[in-house]
Amino acid sequence: MDIAGSTALVTGANRGIGRRFVEQMLERGAEKVYATARRPESIGVLDPRVAPLYLDLLDGESVSEAAAAARDVMLLVNNAGISTGANLLTDGLDTIRQDLETHLFGTLRVIRAFAPVLAANGGGAIVNILSVLSWVATAEGSGSYSVAKAAEWNMTNGVRVELADQKTLVQGVHLAAADTDMMAGRDAPKIDPVDVARAALDGVQAGAIEVLVDDPSRFVKSALAGDPAQLYGRPSGG
């Protein structure tokens, strides 16, 4: 699909990658962009084509109300998320569930609400912002996040299959780290969030179901078919 002339909705649009999506859509000639957040007054993009809208992934009523208000959406970008930093073995299960409730069930809730909207508007596209951690776990306090993103990744695949008949493109976008508030304080190479938005939207226009934004994502994806020791090493004594 072409971005020019389209109507889009972006979750978590008040900062970081979500805000860059809004800006890139405007640059590419989108007719209207619903910019959603838990605090829509914080959107801060001054353009008459931007419509701030309240949406909380964990609030089913807010998701339903957003879908009812945005009946003209053709492109849905699921960007909103959290990272609790929970360790799988030592942190509380309720904390781990927060990651899953947000990334898996929250994102799925939004997709379920907007799938009929997209169908009514010709099929359109869904973009899910995933992570290289969908495919690999690290020892840097990301165990819970990795589990949630792995679940969201395969949910993305499942939704793609289920929406094929209504001609909805479902795209998964993978990256290692972007220079956002969520990654503040992490000592790791970070890409510009605008690169994520550009790559994903280029992919939408090309009909790509998967976009690998950076070298770490490309490396890990290529390593999945090989020996896991390439990613994790071997236990001492093994």
Q: DSSP of 36-92, one letter per residue?
A: EESSGGG-----TTEEEEE--TT-HHHHHHHHHH-TT--EEEE---------TTTS-
Question: What are the residues whose beta carbons fall under 8 Å from the beta carbon of 131, sequence distance 6 or more?
Answer: 145, 146, 149, 174, 175, 176
Q: How confident is the model at residue 236 (pLDDT cuts 50, 70, 90)?
A: low
- State residue 182's pLDDT score: 60
Q: Take residue 30 and report the two structure tokens written for it.
A: 């989108």
Highest mean pLDDT among 133-147, 150-164, 173-187: 150-164
Mutual angle of helices 107-120 and 60-69, in 10-degree steps: 20
Q: How confident is the model at residue 191 (pLDDT cuts 50, 70, 90)?
A: confident
Asked if 47 and 29 count as a contact pair (C-beta separation under 8 A), the reply is no
Asked if 11 and 79 count as a contact pair (C-beta separation under 8 A), the reply is yes
Question: pLDDT exceeding 70 applies to what percent of the chain?
Answer: 95
Question: SS3 of 45, please?
Answer: coil
Mean of the per-residue pLDDT values of the chain? 93
Domain covering 7-226 assigned CATH 3.40.718.10 in the classification? no
Evaluate the CA torsion angle 87, 92, 93, 96 in order and state its sign: negative
pTM for this one?
0.93
Q: How confident is the model at residue 174 (pLDDT cuts 50, 70, 90)?
A: very high
